[in-house]
Structure 1
Amino acid sequence: MANSTFEEQLAKNGKLIYTNKGDSMMPLIKQDRDLLIIKPVQGRLKKYDVPLYKRDSGQYVLHRILKVRKNDYVICGDNRWVKEYGIRDRHIIGVLVAVIRNGKEVSVNNWKYKVYVHLWCDLFPLRALMVHVISKISRYRKGK
């Protein structure tokens, strides 16, 4: 994929397979461990979908939709506690359809994946507090 954008790869191949950078989607997606399969979007996305989008700054992001609103989406990484507002359809490049871990493909339609998503997202306030506290403890320990 050298010297081509995610958009170009999707247009050329009808899908994009890549490994992510960062920890914002842990524990589901771990950097340098998992491969992600992204496909073009078919219509408006739904709650729990994981779009690959491009912020106005040009930064690519893969986070989960927590709420679908009339003109935009409320999005947050699984390992984040701050929600992002104002992501519109024009920002969305593709949507996660599967994760490949240890050579095995796990579809977003897999029942285990769906259970994870509902537990992780439906308990957002508790999860957000937990992630925030763990982050504070980690930063405190690094400072010592």
Structure 2
Amino acid sequence: MIFKRIRPPVDIIAPLIIEEIGAGNDVKIGVTGFSMYPLLRSESDMVILSKPENIKKLDVVFYKRPNGQYVLHRIIRKKGDVLSIAGDNETELEHPVYVSDCIGKMTYYIRNGKKHSVNSISYLLYCHFWKFIFPFRHIAVKAIMFIGKHRRK
């Protein structure tokens, strides 16, 4: 018997995610889309979300946009309860996003079955580097994709 992993659209499972996180449980969800590349890879990586407590700059949060879309992006700036957010593969800031819009905060990501903490030194170095090169991200992402494409050949 062959099993296929089914990933329902996030807007369908969002009420369950909100309920579980609200009850104090962590939730594991699959990543779709390329806005958080190169940190997160679409259709293969997963993230573990916890309650969005003590949200700070460089955290990755799961939030709901005013148009109803659910998004997982990084906080670039925080002033009080107002956030400026962008995906790691984006060059435009989304502003304002409010702390109250945040449903969960990424505490781990999972790649190839291995759990990676957002508190690890390598992850924190990545975050600071990626924030530093924010204006030049599109160049960095193209370079990473070029290297990866030629490494596979």
TM-score range, shorter chain: 0.7 to 0.9
Please say if 1:67 is aligned against 2:77.
Answer: yes
2:93 to 64, 75, 83: 83
Measure how far apart 1:123 and its partner are.
1.5
Structure 1 stretches of 5 or more lacking a match?
A: 135-144
Paired residues in the alignment total 131
Q: Provide the aligned C-alpha RMSD in A.
A: 2.0
Q: After TM superposition, which residue ranges in structure 1, 4 or more long, deviate above 3 angstroms? A: 1-4
Measure how far apart 1:34 and its partner are.
0.7
What secondary structure is seen at the aligned counterpart in 2 of 1:114? helix
Structure 2 distance, partners of 1:114, 1:38, is 17
Please say if 1:50 is aligned against 2:56.
Answer: no
Please say if 1:101 is aligned against 2:111.
Answer: yes
What secondary structure is seen at the aligned counterpart in 1 of 2:123? helix
What secondary structure is seen at the aligned counterpart in 2 of 1:94? strand
8 Å contact from structure 1 (residues 80, 131) kept in 2: no
CA offsets 1:32-87 (integer angstroms, 9 cap, x no match): 111100001123x1110001000111110000000001241010000011100010
Q: State the identity %.
A: 34
Structure 1 distance, partners of 2:108, 2:133, is 23
2:33 to 1, 22, 28: 22
Scaled by the length of structure 1, the TM-score of the pair is 0.83
Which letter maps to 1:22? G
Structure 2 stretches of 5 or more lacking a match?
A: 1-6, 143-153
Which letter maps to 1:54? K
8 Å contact from structure 1 (residues 51, 94) kept in 2: yes
**Cα gap change, 1:131/1:115 in structure 2, threshold over 3 Å: closer, same or farther?**
closer
Please say if 1:11 is aligned against 2:44.
Answer: no
Structure 2 distance, partners of 1:68, 1:110, is 22
8 Å contact from structure 2 (residues 24, 51) kept in 1: no
